[in-house]
Amino acid sequence: MNIQELPEFKKLVKHKWRVSILLTLVMLVIYFGFILLISFNKPFLAQPIGRNLTLGLPIGIGVLISAWLLTGIYTLWANRIHDRRIRDIKKMIRDDN
d(CA 67, CA 3): 33
pTM for the structure as a whole: 0.84
Average pLDDT of adjacent 10-residue blocks, the chain of 97 residues: 85 96 98 97 94 95 97 97 92 82
> Quick one: pLDDT at residue 95?
83
Domain edges within the chain: 3-96
Q: How far apart are CA 16 and CA 82, in angstroms?
A: 8
Q: What φ, ψ does residue 77 adopt, rounded to 5°?
A: -60, -45
